[in-house]
Structure 1
Amino acid sequence: MTRQDWVRWHDGYDEPGSSLKDRLDIVRRWAGTALDEGASQVVSLCAGQGRDLLPVLAAHPRRGQVRARLVELDERNAAAARSAAPEGVEVVCGDASVTDAYAGAVPADLVLACGIFGNITDDDIRRTVAVLPQLCAPGAMVIWTRGRHEPDLVPVICEWFEGHGFERVAAEGEGTEYGVGVHRYAGPPVALEPGARMFTFVR
């Protein structure tokens, strides 16, 4: 199996009309909505270069009131995110799949889980969804992505979220290559379990 180059993977964001660019635009729109609604604590799992959040936050009038932690394993991507991060954003080069990476940064009002669900097993998607309440403040928005190739798992993932205390806000991208899901956590506070692993990348 060829190892994925997660730096070059970002090149699709710079191609006008690419499905990855279209997905990015949707994620940014929803991140902006969360900030408009008052989100002040943000965490991003497998954040890459931070393109889902950083430009939105840098341009937002509430940027000085927001604290964020971006967790990314690839040192090159973490360095790129750090160089673009406005004040109040912490970029951690570490394993985003383990709950320890979020100690001191949760519960969050906005959780970004983009670029993950297409790279892990279905069982790990379910496990991650089950753990996400530990990262969420009541009312938190979770934005996640998954390719819509057949079999399209987006509707099923929505059901998994809704079985763990989340309410569906949107599921976008039907008929395209990429789906973007938005859920709001409607359950009670859940303590962070140290050392819990949510997923393992399979490519």
Structure 2
Amino acid sequence: MTSIGNGGGWELDRYRDYLRLLARLHLDPSMRAKLDESDVVQQTLLQAHENRDQFRGGTEAELVGWLRTILANALAANARRYLADARDLDRERSLNDTLDQSSNRIQGWLAAEQSSPSERVVRVEELVRLAGALGRLPADQRQVVELHHLKGWPVAEVAAAVGRTKPAVMGLLFRGVKRLRELLQEAGRP
């Protein structure tokens, strides 16, 4: 449990589930046999700890953005390392953008845009809780919820990716979202 920030006392480990969710959404499928999302998250947290003096933000939202940037760099570095023969420069360049889009989609799934500092703090708390709740879903439900709701894939694409029929994916989505709501209510989010 490492704290960081200009007296903020933020514990980096509390963002592990959120970073794992983003890594899972953006880890190249061809690299999954060589690298797990937990490895990338561990690299991210280690690098954040080692470079904590470089963090110039003052809010938790800025810390989360800084961690997201470190994660994007770790994913790109691993892609270069493991996919050197099949290098795709467009994929590397857009990785940070797609991480931001996923994070925005996750935030949009939680609530409408909020602007006050206290509301932004609540938003970060909700992101962390959502990532933790997603991690508690059964793997098949978590996968279809992430692909459909967080990556924005149509049900037919999700079905093809997971090797199931559209009705089966719809059932997994229904049960996954229902269970996710239950987990979030248990965690204190209405």
Higher share in strand: 1
Bigger radius of gyration among the two: 2
TM-score by length of 1: 0.29
